[in-house]
Chain A
Amino acid sequence: MSIPLGPIISPPGTRSFRDAGGLPADQWRALVGDETLVPTHCCFCGVQCGMYLRVREGKVFGVEPRNHDINRMRLCPKGLNAYQQVNHPDRLTAPLLRRSRTDDLRPASWEQVLDVTATEIQRIQAEHGRDAFGLLGGASLFSEKTYLVGKLARVALKTRHVDYNGRLCMVSAAGANKLSFGIDRAGNPFSDILLTDCLLIAGSNVGECFPVMTQYLWGARDRGAKLIVVDPRETSIARTADVHVALRSGTDSAFFNAVLHVVIRDGLADLDFIAAHTTGWAEVAQTVAAYPPARAAEICGIPAEQVEQVARIFATARNVMAWHARGIEHHTQGVENCLSVINLCVATGNIGKPGAGYGTITGQGNGQGGREHGQKSDMLPGGRSINDPAHRAQIAAIWGIDEAELPQAGTSMMEMVHQMSAGEIRGLVGICNNPFVSLPNHAVVKAGYDALEFHAQADFFLSETAANAHVVFPITTWAEDDGVMANAEARVVRHRKAQEPPPGVRTDTWVMCELAKRLGVGDKFAFTSSADVFEELRIASRGTVNDYFGITYDRLDETGGIAWPCPSTDHPGTPRLFEGGRTYHADGKVHLQTVEWHPPADPYDDDFAMTLTTGRTVAHFLSGNQTRRLGGLVEQTPRPWVEVHPSHGFTSGDPVRVVTRRGSAVFPALVTEAIRADTVFVPYHWPFPVAANVLTIDALDPRSKIPEYKVCACRLERAEHVVDTPAPPVPPGRTTYAASQVSRLDPLPPTSPQGRGTSER
């Protein structure tokens, strides 16, 4: 078959096309007539694929792949459907207000909702103190807006209670990185994966959660790299691995300690590197001495030979990379799990080299950047500590306030929910988060939010959480404003405005500035655009580890993204950390940390003997507020399911009740050998009553305060029927769902091992 080619263009998707640098945007424009193609990035996961939004007559109406360094034209189904959100009929286009929880939400004016919110903030703070009002941000926001969330809390509300939904994402990895390396980001760019000789993927279903990353994995495999996957499920990546360690969820650090035990026992540790570049080695070696393979085999439920096999491959490969994600981070020992992987990389000299290092794959688009500039409860802009007097003084000076006015560190997102129930937090503004679906132990979360005297929520669709609020602010999508995000490589990328927001919709920046004005500090929020905020953010991060000062919108346009730290406008950025073995601790060394395995928080007994683990599916994103409205994605994965091993006697489609100590929910069974017999899996993107988070436990890692989503004790019961999957809430004035949404009443169970129905025939 031979398709005629023009003289210049090589087809996208081919090596020659990539080598030629791709197709310039103006040639695309020529191909599509009167369309404008706006270069931007996907709004979803931490890979941040480049894409063009197709715009005609001022409206986004389609997507075109873009040959950006990160994704080289590739897009996953979420990326291909993302543009459908922008002009979706479910968009909120008017502020909503109700006076009490028994009223219905009704359209109101912007003046009304802003005035009510400011009045309620002042009333609650006057009656109960400044810390009685909290803010919760999101890691899907542009970095400029996350900066504003932190500043609004500290300067306008003067409350210590601010946190964000990145707390549910990768804070365990962040904590471990900071402890070991003094910097909170992945050590290597994705492109280093192509240079590695051995790839360890721990607790990451890359094929479903970060599909575009698989091009790097397969690229490494084409060069002969070995692949080790540690996961209780045989995912699409595990299926092709050289070694798939199907350990029991919640036992990761025992496994990695045992691997390091074998590395040391067999004389495979890089002692020269350890001596020159680390502290704490003796303690680590002593700790892992108590983890022989036989002990790990017993704890993890795997053959001891696998420990030996992984140690041999890991320690004898020339360059090794380890990437991990929520599978090892969502635990009460999430920080320890990440530290145990770091210990292994460092002990074998695998950091700071092309093809050698570690990384954590951020789940949310701005999971990395979202915590760098001050919306995390214990951090100020530039990754500064809110407990450090020098850091406080620096930021107070930039913000033009007295250091004494800056609140102290607050509590984490889940802890704030408990404080709501206890009456310590009585009012809340939430921006771009949906805790009713995303937080563990749903009953506790609902009780916390229901106890609030006042709750305002900002979103562009009516999420389950927004539907419960007193005030809803309709805000812009990612395609209606400018801004930056930092992807999983800590590469800062530029998002562009592709269309004007619908009438009645405002940017989050505008909303926060208007609130600040009503709270009497409008002079400190005199921003009219994201660019204004970014200029202040650059200055606020100057001189820190998270240095953005050298990054400008113009430079991002020219380069396609710059990895921080980037201290000056002529600095190229820092895609790879620790070259020469030097870290960001004052002594330049890796501070190795000892790790002791301990059992998960929810104990097993005769009633609850099995392990429940939760996670994502490829068609949906986080709480599903965005993706459960897009027809193609709903059709691809219309409902949750429970993945069970054949040994339990169920047939695919059988209604199965999963029971934990917090509640129960019924799902159709998906019977497959691709999961451990003692483990079941439920994806978490749906709301009550089919929410996985009805079942999960709200136990937290003591350091990172991340919830233990990935393991709790459960049992299975045969149920009468499958519960229908609820549709997302509908805004006032509409009585039907979007025509693009497929029926949720289809009783058919999922038909594939991944729970995805076979596509349309």
Chain B
Amino acid sequence: MGRTLFIDPGRCIGCQACVAGCRECDSHRGKSMIHLDYLEEGISAASMPTVCMHCEDPVAPCAQVCPAEAILVTPDGVVHDADKSRCIGCGNCVSACPMGVPKIDLAAKLQFKCNLCYDRTSAGLAPMCATVCPTGALFYGTMDELLADRPNVAVANTFDFDGTIVTTGVAVIVPRDRGDLPVPGGCGHEQPNVLGEPL
């Protein structure tokens, strides 16, 4: 099984170490590609990082709609940020992404997004966000490694956006108290879970 990112919202403390770490990554130093969102504003401190989910099926929506064919998806499943020599800053990728991940630098008219710290992952290291995450809310590894760390967790990597099913390379850990209920914004156990097989 390949390595990927796992997001565990139950562990997130909203500290934004992932955001700060992302700024330190050499592939886009100075800019963070992570969003930290608060889930129940006014009710609790619940929070969750949003990273690029590196969509696999259908082929990443951002890449599909890019008129300049600037977004490369490499065979290892990483959906790269737009090639700066091709990107026209049109914002199609921003509109197409169901997760709200890509950003446009309006001054530079260029897109930026998480490329899974390709400078690090291609050298065998974990992405910066998962490396530094104090709680393990972002975890980089295989499903076996995750289970060795957190026995009996369930994961989901298939999401239903009002009828459009998107399967992602990045997986979300299903909160324990959800039981068999569907994951909010996703399909949980009801859809085929490809984790456990090579991605």
A: residues with CB less than 8 A from B are 1-6, 9-17, 31, 62-63, 65, 73-77, 79-81, 207-208, 211-215, 218, 222, 234-237, 239-240, 618-619, 632, 636, 646, 652, 671-674, 751-754, 756, 758-761
Q: Which residue of B36, B41, B54, B125 is within 8 Å of A11 (Cβ)?
A: B125
Asked whether A15 and B124 contact (CB < 8 A) given A1-B199, A752-B47, the answer is no
Whether B43 lies near A76 (C-beta < 8 A) is no
Whether B14 lies near A9 (C-beta < 8 A) is no
Give the chain B neighbours of A2 by CB distance below 8 A: 1-3, 76-77, 198-199
Whether B36 lies near A758 (C-beta < 8 A) is yes
A interface: dominant SS: loop
Counting CB contacts under 8 A, is B83 at the interface? no
Counting CB contacts under 8 A, is B121 at the interface? yes
Whether A80 lies near B122 (C-beta < 8 A) is no
B: residues with CB less than 8 A from A are 1-4, 10-17, 19-21, 23-24, 32, 34-38, 40-47, 54, 56, 76-78, 100, 103, 116, 121-126, 128, 130-136, 139-141, 145, 148-151, 169-170, 198-199
Q: Which residue of B2, B3, B21, B46 is within 8 Å of A80 (Cβ)?
A: B21
Q: Which residue of A16, A211, A213, A222 is within 8 Å of B17 (Cβ)?
A: A211
A594–B131 CA distance with the chains assembled, in angstroms: 46
Give the chain B neighbours of A618 by CB distance below 8 A: 13-16
Asked whether A11 and B38 contact (CB < 8 A) given A31-B123, A222-B150, A239-B44, the answer is no
Q: Which residue of B3, B44, B125, B198 is within 8 Å of A673 (Cβ)?
A: B44
A671 to chain B, nearest CB (A): 6
A759–B124 CA distance with the chains assembled, in angstroms: 28
A659 to chain B, nearest CB (A): 24
Give the chain A neighbours of B128 by CB distance below 8 A: 65
Whether B42 lies near A646 (C-beta < 8 A) is yes
B93 to chain A, nearest CB (A): 14
Asked whether A1 and B2 contact (CB < 8 A) given A236-B45, A673-B43, the answer is yes
B77 to chain A, nearest CB (A): 3
A208–B199 CA distance with the chains assembled, in angstroms: 36
Beyond A6-B123, A15-B149, list 9 extra A-B contacts (CB 8 Å): A9-B123, A14-B145, A16-B145, A65-B21, A76-B132, A222-B150, A236-B45, A674-B44, A751-B38
Interchain residue pairs A-B with the least CB separation, the first 9: A2-B2, A207-B13, A1-B77, A236-B13, A1-B169, A80-B20, A211-B134, A14-B141, A77-B20
A87 to chain B, nearest CB (A): 15
Whether B41 lies near A751 (C-beta < 8 A) is yes
B63 to chain A, nearest CB (A): 15
Q: Which residue of B15, B17, B44, B133 is within 8 Å of A753 (Cβ)?
A: B44
Whether B47 lies near A236 (C-beta < 8 A) is yes
Give the chain A neighbours of B10 by CB distance below 8 A: 240
Whether B145 lies near A77 (C-beta < 8 A) is no
B163 to chain A, nearest CB (A): 25
Give the chain B neighbours of A9 by CB distance below 8 A: 123-125
Whether B199 lies near A77 (C-beta < 8 A) is no
Whether A3 lies near B76 (C-beta < 8 A) is yes
Give the chain A neighbours of B124 by CB distance below 8 A: 3-6, 9-11
Give the chain A neighbours of B198 by CB distance below 8 A: 2
A670 to chain B, nearest CB (A): 9
Asked whether A80 and B32 contact (CB < 8 A) given A1-B76, A4-B76, A14-B140, the answer is no
Inter-chain residue pair count (beta carbon < 8 A): 207
Asked whether A80 and B44 contact (CB < 8 A) given A6-B124, A16-B145, A759-B34, the answer is no
A207–B46 CA distance with the chains assembled, in angstroms: 12
Whether B47 lies near A65 (C-beta < 8 A) is no
B164 to chain A, nearest CB (A): 21
A540 to chain B, nearest CB (A): 36
A71–B140 CA distance with the chains assembled, in angstroms: 16
Chain A residue with minimal CB distance to B13?
Answer: A207
Whether A75 lies near B44 (C-beta < 8 A) is no
Asked whether A207 and B2 contact (CB < 8 A) given A13-B131, A76-B134, the answer is no
Q: Which residue of A10, A73, A77, A754 is within 8 Å of B19 (Cβ)?
A: A77
Give the chain A neighbours of B44 by CB distance below 8 A: 234, 239, 672-674, 753
A63–B21 CA distance with the chains assembled, in angstroms: 9
A761–B15 CA distance with the chains assembled, in angstroms: 17
A449 to chain B, nearest CB (A): 34
> Can you list 8 A-B contacts (CB < 8 A)?
A9-B123, A15-B145, A65-B128, A77-B15, A77-B17, A80-B132, A211-B15, A674-B43
Give the chain B neighbours of A208 by CB distance below 8 A: 13, 15
B70 to chain A, nearest CB (A): 21
Chain B residue with minimal CB distance to A6?
Answer: B124
Give the chain B neighbours of A80 by CB distance below 8 A: 17, 20-21, 23-24, 132
Give the chain A neighbours of B43 by CB distance below 8 A: 672-674, 753
Whether B132 lies near A73 (C-beta < 8 A) is yes
Give the chain B neighbours of A211 by CB distance below 8 A: 13, 15, 17, 134-135
A13–B141 CA distance with the chains assembled, in angstroms: 8
A180–B106 CA distance with the chains assembled, in angstroms: 62
Whether A672 lies near B121 (C-beta < 8 A) is no
Give the chain B neighbours of A5 by CB distance below 8 A: 3, 124
Whether A13 lies near B134 (C-beta < 8 A) is no
Give the chain B neighbours of A234 by CB distance below 8 A: 44-45
A615–B68 CA distance with the chains assembled, in angstroms: 50
A15–B141 CA distance with the chains assembled, in angstroms: 8
Whether B141 lies near A11 (C-beta < 8 A) is yes
A761–B99 CA distance with the chains assembled, in angstroms: 12
A761–B103 CA distance with the chains assembled, in angstroms: 7
B8 to chain A, nearest CB (A): 9
Give the chain B neighbours of A237 by CB distance below 8 A: 13
A104 to chain B, nearest CB (A): 35
A58–B2 CA distance with the chains assembled, in angstroms: 39
A495 to chain B, nearest CB (A): 20
Whether B35 lies near A752 (C-beta < 8 A) is no
Chain B residue with minimal CB distance to A2?
Answer: B2
A222–B36 CA distance with the chains assembled, in angstroms: 24
Give the chain A neighbours of B169 by CB distance below 8 A: 1
Whether B23 lies near A1 (C-beta < 8 A) is no
Asked whether A759 and B32 contact (CB < 8 A) given A2-B3, A14-B145, A74-B133, the answer is yes
Whether B134 lies near A215 (C-beta < 8 A) is yes
Q: Which residue of B37, B76, B131 is within 8 Å of A73 (Cβ)?
A: B131
Whether A632 lies near B37 (C-beta < 8 A) is no
Asked whether A235 and B45 contact (CB < 8 A) given A214-B134, A215-B135, the answer is yes
A10–B54 CA distance with the chains assembled, in angstroms: 22
A759–B199 CA distance with the chains assembled, in angstroms: 30
Q: Which residue of A1, A13, A218 is within 8 Å of B130 (Cβ)?
A: A13
A214–B128 CA distance with the chains assembled, in angstroms: 18
Q: Which residue of A222, A673, A752 is within 8 Å of B38 (Cβ)?
A: A752
Whether B15 lies near A76 (C-beta < 8 A) is yes
Asked whether A1 and B35 contact (CB < 8 A) given A80-B20, A752-B41, the answer is no
